[in-house]
């Protein structure tokens, strides 16, 4: 993948993740010490990409600061990462109307190095994943494909209305692609009808083929200018060789199994955070063969104080302080402090948060810059949580819910 530029599409608003996306784009949402976009960029970097372009749109400030301030210096000499925004050349280009529009408006970035490359990689910047991009590129070449889409197997009811769905032949050539169909229109896998193949939003494309397709799409007034709704079906109809890359066959050194999660809702985001805290997390964050770096903070090591402090299945970022508290299945952000005899269960605390002494949190996500007073409860009375203005969402059929405290919230 050394000669293949990689475009990371990171302009999504992530409305279903509000309030976490009230002040930032979805790819910039913190995920432990990382941000969501770090997983896509890590896939490109570990795949050997020398030129990476991050295309932003919605509330891009913190995302741009993160990409330029951390990833630029991290990559160092010989590799580059560039952020790109809507070009605003005229009223018709006041913003990206879809993923294909975002690629078309920024195709000039590819043209600068076009003589060096024949293919282009496109990754979604708002998923948690570990992916061997070199293996996907090899699959693309092996099948002489013009456009390859990474595909994951999932239950039909989970995919309906949420993902683009494939019908393929025995060689994984795509015969039909339907974007976000209703359940009765989701084609099942032959021999396994309860499951289907869904698009992960990650592509390898032949550069000349893609350039032509994007140009045609840009001039089609009936198009929504989206890869799934417009470009991919048009490529299939034209006879272009479009293939699905079966993600289940992906093998990454040091990673026990392939991993990809769409964290587009608060529920899926919360469950994915929890998955990273067990004995054998699905993503090996300490894998030397596939590093997923996080922004260095130059902070002192985390500190636990007191004879009665207990922290099973929990993790802490630099500068955190746990003062004689009990934490279970929790993550604590940079410079955050959990006060004396506080109790936190299945909760995730952002940077610069103070949790008061004696306070109890149950199934809470707290964004950064919040001071939670002493001796209060959050997550125990849903009506009370809603009355405070917190967002609450159902987690399961047992009646449990997640409570989200927004960034900078001030308790009365």
HSE of 191, CA atoms in CB hemisphere, 13 A: 3
Map residue 94 onto helix, strand or coil: coil
Residue 142, CA distances (Å) to 126, 136, 145, 253, 262 in order: 28, 10, 8, 21, 28
pLDDT at 189: 84
Pairing mode, strands 348-349 and 331-332: parallel
Alpha carbon 227 to its chain's center: 18
Q: Name, in order, each residue with C-beta under 8 angstroms of 149's C-beta and a sequence gap of 6 or more.
A: 166, 174, 177, 199, 200, 202, 203, 232, 242, 243, 244, 245
CA distance 333 to 324: 17
CA distance 78 to 291: 18
Residue 129, CA distances (Å) to 184, 200, 260, 337 in order: 29, 10, 4, 30
Based on the number of CB atoms within 10 Å of its own CB, is 79 exposed (0-12), middle (13-18) or buried (19 or more)? middle
Q: What is the pLDDT along the chain (412 residues), one digit of tens a residue?
A: 667 899 999 988 888 899 999 989 999 999 989 999 999 999 999 999 989 999 998 888 999 999 998 998 988 888 889 998 876 555 555 677 788 888 888 888 888 876 567 899 999 999 999 999 999 999 999 999 999 999 999 999 888 888 889 888 888 899 888 888 888 888 888 778 889 999 999 999 999 999 999 999 888 888 888 888 899 999 999 999 999 999 999 999 988 889 999 998 999 999 999 999 988 899 988 899 999 998 888 898 899 988 888 999 999 999 999 999 999 999 999 999 999 999 999 999 999 999 999 999 999 999 999 999 999 999 999 999 999 999 999 998 888 999 999 999 999 8
Q: Check if the beta carbon of residue 346 is closer than 8 Å to that of residue 313.
A: no
Say if pTM beats, i.e. exceeds, 0.75. Answer: yes
Q: Which residue has the tokens 């048009």?
A: 234
Selected from 3.20.20.140, 2.70.170.10, 2.40.30.10, 2.160.10.10, the CATH number assigned to the domain covering 303-405 reads 2.160.10.10
48: tokens are 């050997």
299: tokens are 């902070």
CATH says 6-275 is which class?
alpha beta
CA distance 83 to 120: 17
Provide the 8-state DSSP code for 184. G
Instruction: Point out which residues pair with 316 in neighbouring strands.
Output: 332
**What are the structural domain ranges in the chain?**
6-275, 303-405
């Amino acid at each position: 993948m050394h000669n293949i530029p990689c475009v990371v599409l990171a302009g999504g608003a992530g409305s279903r993740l509000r309030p976490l996306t009230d002040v930032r784009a979805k790819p910039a949402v913190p995920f432990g010490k990382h941000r969501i976009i770090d997983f896509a960029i890590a896939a490109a970097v570990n795949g050997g990409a020398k030129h990476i372009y991050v295309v932003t749109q919605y509330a891009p400030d913190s995302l741009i600061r993160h990409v330029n301030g951390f990833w630029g210096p991290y990559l160092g000499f010989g590799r580059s990462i560039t952020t790109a925004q809507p070009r605003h050349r005229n009223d018709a280009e006041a913003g990206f109307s879809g993923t294909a529009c975002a690629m078309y408006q920024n195709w000039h970035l590819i043209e600068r190095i076009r003589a060096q490359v024949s293919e282009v990689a496109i990754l979604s910047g708002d998923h948690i994943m570990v992916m061997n991009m070199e293996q996907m590129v090899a699959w693309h070449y092996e099948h002489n494909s013009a456009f390859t889409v990474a595909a994951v197997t999932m239950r039909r009811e989970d995919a309906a209305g949420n993902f683009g769905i494939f019908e393929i032949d025995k060689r994984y050539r795509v015969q039909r692609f339907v974007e976000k169909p209703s359940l009765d229109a989701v084609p099942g896998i032959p021999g396994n009808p309860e499951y289907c193949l869904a698009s992960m939003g990650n592509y390898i494309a032949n550069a000349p083929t893609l350039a032509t397709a994007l140009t045609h799409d840009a001039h089609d007034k009936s198009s929504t200018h989206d890869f799934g709704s417009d470009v991919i079906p048009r490529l299939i109809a034209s006879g272009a060789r479009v293939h699905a890359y079966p993600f289940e066959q992906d093998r990454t050194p040091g990673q026990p199994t392939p991993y990809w999660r769409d964290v587009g809702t608060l529920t899926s985001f919360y469950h994915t955070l929890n998955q990273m805290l067990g004995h054998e997390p699905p993503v090996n964050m300490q894998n030397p063969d596939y590093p997923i770096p996080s922004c260095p903070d130059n902070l002192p090591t985390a500190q636990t104080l007191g004879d009665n402090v207990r922290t099973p299945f929990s993790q802490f970022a630099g500068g955190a302080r746990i003062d004689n508290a009990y934490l279970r299945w929790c993550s604590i952000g940079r410079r955050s402090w959990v006060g004396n005899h506080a109790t936190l269960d299945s909760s995730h605390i952002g940077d610069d948060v103070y949790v008061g002494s004696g306070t109890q949190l149950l199934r809470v996500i707290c964004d950064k810059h919040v001071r939670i007073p002493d001796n209060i409860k959050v997550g125990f009375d849903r009506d009370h949580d809603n009355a405070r203005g917190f967002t609450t969402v159902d987690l399961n059929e047992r009646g449990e819910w997640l409570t989200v405290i927004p960034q900078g919230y001030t308790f009365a």
